């Protein structure tokens, strides 16, 4: 079994007394979080920060203490697993600028909207864990 590694984050901002999450929609139509392939020599956090900046144009601050890993088989590559490491990242007062070469769209959503947009269970679990972490952490 071989692996491909990606890193990204559950990106959020505080707006109107609540938390809103950045949800991206790929060119294939699947919704998720900003993430991308690790480059040689990069750490997981460096990859996450770079991918967030490239995909949605945001400079974020990683929230310490949150790291989740998901794995799934790649349909188009038999025998290859994708391992994605997610962090939690906050930003303030910046416009979201989706990268047209990689994304169909990116939007701010509340928790319920984000959960409804996800087709893959792994994204729902990561968002549930991120929300629970935020509720139990005084930031």
Domains of the chain, by residue range, sit at 2-135
18-26 and 80-90 as β-strands: parallel, antiparallel, unpaired? Answer: unpaired
State how far the Cα of 109 lies from the Cα of 68, in Å rounded to an integer.
21
80-90 and 2-15 as β-strands: parallel, antiparallel, unpaired? Answer: parallel
pLDDT in tens, 96-137: 999 999 999 999 999 999 999 999 999 999 999 999 999 998
To which residue do tokens 């269970």 refer? 121
Residues whose CB falls within 8 Å of the CB of residue 64, separated by 6 or more in sequence, listed in order: none
Query: Which pair of structure tokens corresponds to residue 26?
Result: 């790929």
Q: What is the CA radius of gyration of the chain?
A: 14
Q: Which of 50, 58, 51, 21 minimizes the C-alpha distance to 35?
A: 51
CATH class of residue range 2-135: alpha beta
Q: How confident is the model at residue 70 (pLDDT cuts 50, 70, 90)?
A: very high
Query: Which pair of structure tokens corresponds to residue 27?
Result: 């060119």
What average pLDDT does the segment 54-81 reach? Answer: 95
The secondary element (H helix, E strand) that includes residue 104 is strand 103-109
């Amino acid at each position: 079994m071989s692996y491909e590694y990606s890193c990204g984050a559950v990106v959020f901002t505080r707006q109107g007394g609540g938390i809103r999450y950045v949800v991206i929609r790929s060119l294939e139509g699947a919704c998720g979080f900003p993430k991308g392939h690790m480059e040689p020599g990069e750490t997981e956090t460096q990859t996450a920060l770079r991918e967030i900046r490239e995909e949605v144009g945001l400079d974020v601050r990683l929230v310490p203490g949150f790291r989740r890993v998901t794995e799934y088989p790649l349909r188009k590559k038999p025998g290859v697993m994708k391992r994605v490491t997610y962090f939690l990242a906050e930003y303030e007062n910046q416009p979201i600028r989706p990268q047209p070469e990689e994304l169909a769209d990116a939007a701010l959503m509340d928790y319920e909207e984000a959960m409804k947009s996800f087709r893959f269970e792994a994204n729902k679990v990561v968002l549930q864990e991120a929300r629970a972490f935020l509720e139990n952490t005084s930031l």
